[in-house]
Amino acid sequence: MVKLHDLYFKPFVSEQELDAVVQRMADAIAKDLGDEVPVFVGILNGSFMLVSDFVKKYPKPCEVTFIKLASYEGVKSTEDIQRLIGLTQDLTDRTVVILEDIIDSGNTLEEVHRIFKNENVKQLLIATLFYKPEAYAKDFKLHYVGLEIPNKFIVGYGLDYDGLGRDLPAVYQLKTTQHMTNIVLFGPPGAGKGTQA
């Protein structure tokens, strides 16, 4: 178990499993792209560890760059996406593959589509290590998904909780005890709203 700030997290995806999932994604994308030399675009900060491992496993020549967006506050996604570092290179007629750590509400992905709308790329493909289908509220196609996961907050392998946890080599899931569930999800005990499923 891992404690970050005030919350506890339990093991969820091991280093070995992550390794296998990232390898599968790299092989699948390489197979589909044939002789095309793609530009992989990592979305910082969360994707830094994925991108590093992914491009080492990618079996063919490729280019790598990053853009930096931020949407999360604490353990909640917000709709207000900030562009912190934009594109710095011409991607006209290139095959661009977005590498995301996780797709949750899809708000960040919507911003990515907005950013690439006027770039005249040959094709824009979306690859994400984690995907929360229950939280996804957009229609953009996800071309490559590593793992579908339940709608619970995770940390590690690039993903943080208020700055902590990005450095963990494996992924951990928020542990919701009876006590924490009452406080975090349903307000103070006795508020009369909601019971645990």
Angle (CA) 150-107-88 rounded to 5° is 120
Query: What's the closest the beta carbon of residue 62 comes to ligand 5GP, in angstroms?
Result: 21
Q: In what side-by-side order are the strands of the sheet with 2-4?
A: 2-4, 7-13, 171-174, 154-155
By CB under 5 A, tell whether 32 contacts Mg ion: no
User: Among Mg ion, ligand 5GP, none, what binds residue 77 when CB lies within 5 to 8 Å by partner kind?
Assistant: ligand 5GP
Strand partners, 100: 128
191 annotated ligand-binding residue? yes
User: Among Mg ion, ligand 5GP, none, what binds residue 104 when CB lies within 5 to 8 Å by partner kind?
Assistant: ligand 5GP
42 annotated ligand-binding residue? no
86 annotated ligand-binding residue? no
- Is 27 a catalytic site residue? no
Specify the residue, 62 or 99, whose C-beta has the smaller distance to Mg ion. Answer: 99
Query: What's the closest the beta carbon of residue 31 comes to ligand 5GP, in angstroms?
Result: 26
Residues that bind ligand 5GP (CB under 6 A): 43, 46, 71-72, 77, 100-109, 153-155, 159-161
Specify the residue, 82 or 120, whose C-beta has the smaller distance to ligand 5GP. Answer: 82
Alpha-carbon torsion angle 72, 148, 50, 12, nearest 10: 90
User: Of the listed 93, 104, 160, 162, which one is catalytic?
Assistant: 104
- Extract the runs of DSSP E, i.e. beta strands, from 62-150: 63-73, 76-85, 95-103, 123-131, 144-148
DSSP-assigned letters across all residues of 137-182: ------SEEEEE--S--EEBTTB-BTTBSTT-SSEEEE---HHHHH
170 annotated ligand-binding residue? no
User: Among ligand 5GP, Mg ion, none, what binds residue 128 when CB lies within 5 to 8 Å by partner kind?
Assistant: none
Binding-site positions read 190-195
| Catalytic residue positions, numbered | 104
